[in-house]
Amino acid sequence: MCKLLAATLILALSASACWAWTIEDRANDEFPGRTIEFRHGGKLVAELIHGEGQYKPYLNVYDVEERRLTNPGMESDGEFYGRFPHHRGIFIGWNHVRTDLGRDDLWHLRSGEKMKVVSIEKKETTDDSARLEVVIHWLSADRDDEQEGLLLVENRSIEVSRVNDRTRIDHKSKLTAARDLRLDGDLQHAGLHFRADAAVNDVRGDTRYLWAPAELSPGGGRIVSDELQWVNFRFPLHGQWYSVTQLNPPENRATELSWRDYGRFGFFFKDQLNKGDSRNVKGRFWVEKISSAEEDDFVRARAQRDYEAYLGGR
């Protein structure tokens, strides 16, 4: 009887370990820098890319077969590839950050600007999710050292979970001004965004978007409104169809939504911050494999349920 109980306990512990969440920070074998991997049952679900050779941290997302869905923007040797390689995974930035140092582009980062992970504050796992907290310095191109060129301190939290083969990603950024500044720019180059793999550009004629409220009318891949709730993107990749929904809570105070058919989309706002002031930016992403036959009404209803659940659980 004791042997049976022991065997049952071992099997239970083994099964639990097979479906456990883990977070590991290690050297990146595929791209420059480092990767902080979120794994479920040993399988890669998402990874935060950062470190030497990277000019901004971003989150790659994978499907249940561990195929990458997001754009890394570079090859293993550090060479850029694909259309608009500065759009990478789930990322945040503003192309006009205005301070006493002038105007810095914390979107393209072409003139020496940089976003740098300076510390990993927390790696936390439960039976249901994995959560990471990091501190990121947003640095001006005009700097002699990091402290002199510091524009913002970002406290970024990323929580990843899987619900019935759907991946849920909660992104929270607390932006604290290191000097008086203005977050500025335009809706195509600012805010919290998702970028699909560069291969989606080759099938951009097949991609589709939905948004809420549905009665809002887009023009040129943009919607201007203070009532923006969510945007859904459907695209073919790896011989499959995928759906990504980004939920935009009211406290973001976003005023514009923008998208492109190659798979870059997100919400935008402007703001003025005095030194020491903080601004929170939040978003939830649902990522999943779907059937190409899914109807708009079905996708819209599910996205609306996800949005209402998100508001209820904040």
Q: For residue 92, is it within any domain? A: yes
pLDDT computed for residue 147 by the predictor: 73
Q: For residue 5, is it within any domain? A: no
Q: Give the model confidence (pLDDT) of 35-63 as tens digits.
A: 999 999 999 999 999 999 999 999 999 99
Rounded-to-integer distance, Cα 111 and Cα 306, Å: 39
| Pair 268, 259: CB distance under 8 Å | no
Phi and psi angles of residue 210, each rounded to the nearest 5 degrees, phi first: -130, 160
Q: Give the model confidence (pLDDT) of 93-134 as tens digits.
A: 999 999 999 999 999 999 999 999 999 999 999 999 999 999
Amino acid present at 240: Q
Q: For residue 13, is it within any domain? A: no
Q: For residue 7, is it within any domain? A: no
pLDDT computed for residue 83 by the predictor: 83
% residues pLDDT > 90 (the chain): 80
pLDDT > 60? residue 255: yes
Count of structural domains, the chain: 1
pLDDT > 90? residue 145: no
Average pLDDT score over residue span 179-198 = 92
Higher-pLDDT residue of 293 and 224 is 224
Q: What is the CATH number of the domain that holds 219?
A: 2.70.98
Residue 141, C-beta contacts closer than 8 angstroms, at least 6 positions apart: 104, 105, 111, 112, 113, 149
Q: For residue 12, is it within any domain? A: no
Of the pLDDT bands very low, low, confident and very high (cuts 50, 70, 90), residue 226 is: very high
pLDDT > 90? residue 294: no
pLDDT > 70? residue 18: no
Q: For residue 4, is it within any domain? A: no
pLDDT computed for residue 7 by the predictor: 43
> Would you mind telling me the total number of residues written for the chain in this entry?
314
The pTM of this model reads: 0.92
pLDDT computed for residue 17 by the predictor: 52
- The boundaries of the domain holding residue 213 are 20-313
